[in-house]
Structure formats: C-alpha cells, structure tokens
C-alpha cells in the first residue's frame, strides 16, 4: 500500500469519523452493489430497465442544484495569487473553518475512497486524484466521468503525487457549504453539496482549477473546451477546441450532425470531449489536446433528437439522470425533449406534476451523466495518449447583441485578447441571476485556479512557444432579433461556421477585414440547403461600431480590476478602440 495515501486517509478519517471506509475498485459488481444500496436509502430511484437499461434517477436537495461560485474559494498563501476574479481565503483559515464542518460529518456513514485518473493511462498528460466522499451518487458519477479504481492506483504506484480531495455532503446546509481549493497543497476540500461541479472533484475542481495552476507551472494549457474532429470527404480529420461558458453549447457542438448536403458530400463529425481540454506542445510543434474525462455531465433540458441526436443516443443506457421528470412508465422527460410530455409524472423534486401546471418539470440545470463510449460518434482517437492536433481555437459566448456570428483574430496575441475580453449572459449552470451579461475570459472565469492576469500572460507565453499555433476565432450562436428570437438556427447548422473556420485555417474561406477581425463575406459561409434570408445573414455578420465602443467601456472597467494585466491585453484593447475610430 502507498504510504502517502494511507496516512492521508487515516488523517481524514480521524477528522470526519466515518463508520466504515470502503475502497472502490471500479468493477461492475461494485456498481450493482452501490446502486442497490442507494436505491434502498432513496439516494437513487429505479427506472424502467427495459427502456433505459443501466439507468438511474437522482434528485438533489432543492437548494443544491448548481455550482455555487460565491462559495468557491482559491486558498493560496498570498491573496494576490488568487487574483481579482476569485474568492480567496487564507489556507489556515479555510482548513480551520471547513475542518469544523467536516469534524464528525461522516458519522453513521461510509467513507468511500475513490482513486481516479484524469487522462489516459500511460499518457504524459495524465494526473491521479483520490476523492474521499460520503456520497454514493458521487462515486457512481466519478465511475462514469473518470478512469476510476485499480487503473488509477496502478498509475500512481508508490508516488505521493496525487490530488487530495475530501468531500462530504455534511448536512447540505448552504450556510455551511464551501468548495475550497489549495493549489499549493494539491488539495481540495468540498463540503455541504452533492451537486455535479461541487462534488465531483475530478471535474471542475481538479481538471480545471487545480490543473490550470499545474499547467502554468509545467508549461501546458488547461481549458474549459470541447474537442471535436471534422472529417472532410477525402478522409482528413481536423480538430477544433472551443471554449464556451457553462450551458452555452459545448456538448452540442461536440456532437453536432452536419446538415444533409455536407453529409451527402462525405463530411463527418467526431466527438473527442465536451467540457475540458488539456493541451501540450507536440514534437511536431503543434498544440495537441486530450479530453481528461471519460463521460459527459450534460445539460438535459433542450436536448432532443432534433437538437442533439447523438446525446440522445448516448443517454439510452448506463446513464445517471439528475433532477429530471419521472414518468409513470419509469422513463425520464425534460423540457425541450421532442416527445410529448407525459400526462402526469413526478417533477425534479419528486412532487406530482402535470404539464398543465405551468411549472417546469425538470430543473433547468437538470443533467445526464453518460459514458463517452456510448456516443455513436465518439472519435477513434479519443483515447490516444498523444491527444489530437488542434487546428483552431474557438471562443464563444451567449450574446443577444454585439458579437457577430463568427470572426477570426488577426494573430495569436489578438486572439488572446479576444478570449480575455469575452462576455456571455449568465445561465442556470451556477446559482445566481440568469441572463446578465458578464465578462468571462476564455469561459474560465469560475474555473481559473490562480490570478487571471497571470493566466493571460501564460496564454501569451504559450503563443511564443508554440511553433505552429492554432488560429483563434470567436463565435456567437445566440444573437437575437428585436423580439428576442435567435437569428441563427444553431445546433447542427453550426457546422457551416466551423467549416468556414477550418477553411480559414487552410488558407481558404472568404473574409473581409473589420476593426474586430476577419468576418466572413456574405458568400463566405456555405448556406446550401438552409432557408436563411440575406438580410438575416447581413445582420448576423454585422459589426456595429457604436455597440462595440459601448462594450469597450465595460471591458475597460473589467480589466481595471487586474493588478497583473499583461500590457499586451491593454494594448490590444486600445488598438481595437483606434480601429473603431473611438
Ligand atoms: P456545460 O455542461 O454547463 O458546460 O454546458 P455546455 O456548454 O456543454 O452547453 P450545452 O451544449 O449543454 O447547451 C446548453 C444549452 O444551450 C442547451 O439548452 C442547448 O439546447 C442550448 N444550445 C446549445 N447549442 C445551441 C445553439 O447552437 N443555438 C441555440 N439557440 N441554443 C443552443
Ligand atoms: C459547468 O457548469 O460548466 C458544467 C457542469 O459542466 S458542473 O460540473 O456542475 O460544473
Ligand atoms: Mn462545463
């Protein structure tokens, strides 16, 4: 037994005082046993095994339905190292305050020891974590989302280099809920929540916040990005990595189906990942990426055979559904699913519900947890330990105004500024107001584990180090008309925009130079088979000078908060102002 592991577990057990300690091995027998146990206690609910084999339903506490950014802390010794965009708590204070809540929090419960690997066995990209948790729901989710059990311990060997994650639901009291990260100690303590991004410590907490800190130290990039491969009719596959904020379309873009004329011509889409990318410079001087996860923790509402058929196929078996409607026949339903709603059912809180009630049946942030290997278009390369080479990096937000459908940055430095100045309307993926425009650099605002000024500097530095860097773009699927209707059809039709992006990477693709970057000409994007009038397209591609000058004011306020803003970012902002004639 690894002595560093056992002594740490002993120490944590002394604090949390569980009745039992159980090591999980990731086996099928264990899945069945834990599922049965959770059914018996009501932590999980049975679903119709003929229609949804291997699937279960979970309902969270009504006050525990999303990430809680105001309760998420970066605990570095120096406050400046957490930066202006993170909540900060001194490590001693955090250990003390959370220690009081953890003290005895597992009394009468089992502590599960969950060893897991983020990344592919044997890959230089990979990292080991161990999560101690009192939640079977968390164990079963980690089993889908990570390579869990023996494989992780084998990878760790006798090393003491592993992420120490402690998680307890405690009493699920939001007053006593904290998600604390200690990047300098390779440690995460999360207490008082059982929800996805708060409790599945391998995901946002480790694979983004802690890993972003590691990436900067070790010279690689850790990003909130999907990875998708586009195969052309000749059989060449090009890969795109795209960063959109939570609930802004990553899972959908990662699994899109090209429109019929492109399918007929031989284009194909391959899913590599839908949420997180770890990227390193490869021997060929390009940027190579892996998806460190093995599953999708996707937004259920809005997912249908019309919008995302590949996700619908993926969740037909071995899936955990969280906070969706339970139908009388033991299946699940959510708003935006193609099927008619059931005449009656139980809503996400387990209360009798009918569609006529006018209330939402599923929580807007209801989720599915499904194995990546279930996805019919999972890339043959998704477990390649070397990763896949990235041709284009795409940033995107949810903007009713300002940002056009797509534009290309002039170069890497300008692209970094485009990412740093990104903004998006808030969604239900995190607690708080929905629909408010906020700046969300690189879709990493809630996930950067260190000073974001240093993070921008790291991006700039990587650009100097990558001999053959990807080209950088910005997209916006969410521009609306005066009545608030989306101007762009989105979903599979986004393929057309990605195709233009790849054309640009290959020196093709028609564009005009504007103050914000290269925007497609009216003929630039192939609209074959799409009924979209020229006027709408003009509107989608418009660069409104006044709107951009207004946006610059907001950017200025945002960047003013940074004490470590690289001069290049400010310089790029001023250059844009000059190009806009402001
Ligand atoms: P996280 O898992 O929270 O990181 O979210 P995500 O970025 O993977 O977002 P996802 O693909 O799950 O989409 C979130 C919501 O946006 C869903 O309700 C989708 O139906 C909707 N959506 C996704 N793509 C599009 C699009 O192209 N156009 C429009 N209008 N809506 C979209
Ligand atoms: C996100 O909010 O970006 C998610 C869901 O992917 S969670 O795991 O809860 O963070
Ligand atoms: Mn996400």
Q: pLDDT in tens for each of the 582 residues of the chain?
A: 899 999 999 999 999 999 999 999 999 999 999 999 999 999 999 999 999 999 999 999 999 999 999 999 999 999 999 999 999 999 999 999 999 999 999 999 999 999 999 999 989 899 999 999 999 999 999 999 999 999 999 999 999 999 999 999 999 999 999 999 999 999 999 999 999 999 999 999 999 999 999 999 999 999 999 999 999 999 999 999 999 999 999 999 999 999 999 999 999 999 999 999 999 999 999 999 999 999 999 999 999 999 999 999 999 999 999 999 999 999 999 999 988 899 999 999 999 999 999 999 999 999 999 999 999 999 999 999 999 999 999 999 999 999 999 999 999 999 999 999 999 999 999 999 999 999 999 999 999 999 999 999 999 999 999 999 999 999 999 999 999 999 999 999 999 999 999 999 999 999 999 999 999 999 999 999 999 999 999 999 999 999 999 999 999 999 999 999 999 999 999 999 999 998
Residue 582 has a pLDDT of 83
Question: Residue 301 CA: which ligand 1 atom is closest?
Answer: 18
Q: Whose Cα sits closest to atom 4 in ligand 2?
A: 246
| Helix, strand counts (H, E) of the chain | 16, 31
Residue 116 has a pLDDT of 98
Angstrom distance (rounded) from CA 410 to CA 38: 54
Residue that has been written with the tokens 């990426």 in this structure = 289
CB atoms under 10 Å from CB of 553, counted, come to 10
Angstrom distance (rounded) from CA 376 to CA 268: 12
CA of 318 to the centre of ligand 3 (A): 21
What is the three-class DSSP state of 139? Answer: helix
Angstrom distance (rounded) from CA 125 to CA 45: 37
Backbone angles phi, psi at 63, to 5 degrees: -100, 15
Task: Please enumerate in sequence order all residues whose Cβ is within 8 A of that of 465, keeping only pairs 6 or more positions apart, or say none.
Answer: 219, 281
Angstrom distance (rounded) from CA 144 to CA 112: 16
Ligand 1 near 302 CB (within 6 A): yes
Ligand 1 near 250 CB (within 6 A): yes
Angstrom distance (rounded) from CA 566 to CA 555: 15
122: left (phi over 0), alpha (psi -120 to 50) or beta: left
Residue that has been written with the tokens 């080479």 in this structure = 389
Q: Which helix (H) or strand (E) holds 423?
A: strand 423-425
CA of 244 to the centre of ligand 3 (A): 8
Residue that has been written with the tokens 């844009």 in this structure = 576
Q: Which residues of 389-412 are buried (b: 16+ CB within 10 A; e: fewer)?
A: bbbbbbbbbbbbebbbbbbbbbeb
Q: Among 195, 245, 247, say which to mutate for ligand 1: greatest number of ligand atoms within 8 Å of CB.
A: 247
Distances in Å between the alpha carbon of 321 and those of 39, 159, 350?
14, 36, 13
Structural domains in the chain, sorted by start:
3-43+66-218 (3.40.449.10), 223-291+382-580 (3.90.228.20), 295-374 (2.170.8.10)
Ligand 1 near 337 CB (within 6 A): no
Q: Whose Cα sits closest to atom 7 in ligand 2?
A: 197
Task: Please enumerate in sequence order all residues whose Cβ is within 8 A of that of 272, keeping only pairs 6 or more positions apart, or say none.
Answer: 226, 227, 228, 229, 239, 254, 289, 291, 379, 381, 382, 388
Q: Which helix (H) or strand (E) holds 511?
A: strand 511-514
Angstrom distance (rounded) from CA 108 to CA 41: 13
Cite the DSSP H helix spans in 21-162.
28-41, 91-102, 136-145, 150-156
Q: Which two tokens stand for residue 24?
A: 């999980």
**Angle at CA of residue 523, ends 517 and 529, nearest 5°:** 125
- What does DSSP assign to residue 67? B
For residues 76 and 88, the answer to whether their CB atoms sit within 8 Å is yes
323: left (phi over 0), alpha (psi -120 to 50) or beta: left
Q: Which two tokens stand for residue 177?
A: 């809920």
Angstrom distance (rounded) from CA 230 to CA 487: 25
Ligand 2 near 197 CB (within 6 A): yes
For residues 408 and 419, the answer to whether their CB atoms sit within 8 Å is no
Sequence-ordered strand ranges (E) for 282-403? 287-290, 295-299, 320-322, 325-326, 332-333, 345-346, 352-353, 367-371, 388-396
Q: Which two tokens stand for residue 62?
A: 């009504």
Ligand 1 near 248 CB (within 6 A): yes
Q: Which ligand is nearest to the CA of 199?
A: 2
CA of 304 to the centre of ligand 2 (A): 20
Question: Residue 245 CA: which ligand 2 atom is closest?
Answer: 3
Question: Residue 198 CA: which ligand 2 atom is closest?
Answer: 9
Q: Is the pTM of this model over 0.75?
A: yes
Distances in Å between the alpha carbon of 184 and those of 10, 291, 449?
21, 24, 10
Ligand 1 near 196 CB (within 6 A): no
For residues 145 and 165, the answer to whether their CB atoms sit within 8 Å is no
Cite the DSSP H helix spans in 122-257.
136-145, 150-156, 196-199, 211-218, 250-254
- Residues known to be catalytic: 248
CA of 429 to the centre of ligand 2 (A): 6
CA of 67 to the centre of ligand 2 (A): 7
What's the gap between Cα 271 and its chain centre? 14
Q: Whose Cα sits closest to atom 8 in ligand 2?
A: 197
Q: Whose Cα sits closest to atom 1 in ligand 2?
A: 246
């Amino acid at each position: 037994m690894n002595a560093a592991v056992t002594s740490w577990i002993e120490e944590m057990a002394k604090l949390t005082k569980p009745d039992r300690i159980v090591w999980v091995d990731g086996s099928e027998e264990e899945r069945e046993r834990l599922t049965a146990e959770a059914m018996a206690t009501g932590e999980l609910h049975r679903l119709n095994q003929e229609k949804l084999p291997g699937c279960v339903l979970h309902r969270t506490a009504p006050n525990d339905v999303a990430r809680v950014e105001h309760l998420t802390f970066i605990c570095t010794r120096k406050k400046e190292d957490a930066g202006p965009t993170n909540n900060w708590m001194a490590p001693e204070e955090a250990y003390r305050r959370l220690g009081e809540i953890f003290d005895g929090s597992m009394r009468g419960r089992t502590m599960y020891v969950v060893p897991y690997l983020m990344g592919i066995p044997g890959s230089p990209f990979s990292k080991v974590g161990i999560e101690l948790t009192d939640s079977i729901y968390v164990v079963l989710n980690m089993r889908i989302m990570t390579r869990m059990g023996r494989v992780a311990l084998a990878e760790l060997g006798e090393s003491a280099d592993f992420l120490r994650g402690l998680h307890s639901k405690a009493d699920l009291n939001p007053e006593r809920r904290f998600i604390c990260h200690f990047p300098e100690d390779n440690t995460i303590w999360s207490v008082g929540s059982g929800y996805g991004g708060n409790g599945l410590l391998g995901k946002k907490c480790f694979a983004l916040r802690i890993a972003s800190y590691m990436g900067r130290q070790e010279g690689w990039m850790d990003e909130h990005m999907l990875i998708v491969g586009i195969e052309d009719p000749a059989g060449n596959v090009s890969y795109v990595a795209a960063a959109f904020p939570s609930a802004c379309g990553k899972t959908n873009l990662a699994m899109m189906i090209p429109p019929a004329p492109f399918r007929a011509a031989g284009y194909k889409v391959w899913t590599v990942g839908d949420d997180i990318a770890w990227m390193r410079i490869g021997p060929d001087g390009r940027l190579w990426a892996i998806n460190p996860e093995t599953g999708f923790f996707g937004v259920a509402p809005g997912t249908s055979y019309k919008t995302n058929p590949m996700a619908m196929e993926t969740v037909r078996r071995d899936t955990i559904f969280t906070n969706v409607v339970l139908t009388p026949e033991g299946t699940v339903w959510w708003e935006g699913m193609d099927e008619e709603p059931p005449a009656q059912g139980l809503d996400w809180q387990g209360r009798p519900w009918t569609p006529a009630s006018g209330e939402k049946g599923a929580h807007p942030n209801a989720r599915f947890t499904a194995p990546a290997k279930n996805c019919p278009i999972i890339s043959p390369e998704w477990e390649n330990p070397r990763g896949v080479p990235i041709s284009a990096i795409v940033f995107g937000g949810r903007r009713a105004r300002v940002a056009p459908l797509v534009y290309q940055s002039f170069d890497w430095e300008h692209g970094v500024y485009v990412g740093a100045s990104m903004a998006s309307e808030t969604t239900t993926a995190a607690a708080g107001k929905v629909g408010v425009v906020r700046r969300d650099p690189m879709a990493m605002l809630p996930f950067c584990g260190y000073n974001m000024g240093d993070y921008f500097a790291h991006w700039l530095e990587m650009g100097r180090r990558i001999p053959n860097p990807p080209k950088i773009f910005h997209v916006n699927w969410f521009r609306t008309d005066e009545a608030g209707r989306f101007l762009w059809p989105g979903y599979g039709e986004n393929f057309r925009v990605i195709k233009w992006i790849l054309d640009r990477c290959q020196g093709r693709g028609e564009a005009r130079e504007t103050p914000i970057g290269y925007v497609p000409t009216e003929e630039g994007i192939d609209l074959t088979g799409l009924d979209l009038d020229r006027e709408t397209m003009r509107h989608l591609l418009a660069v409104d000078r006044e709107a951009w000058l207004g946006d610059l004011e907001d950017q200025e306020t945002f960047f003013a908060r940074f004490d470590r803003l690289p001069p290049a970012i400010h310089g790029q902002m001023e250059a844009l102002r000059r190009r806009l004639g402001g």
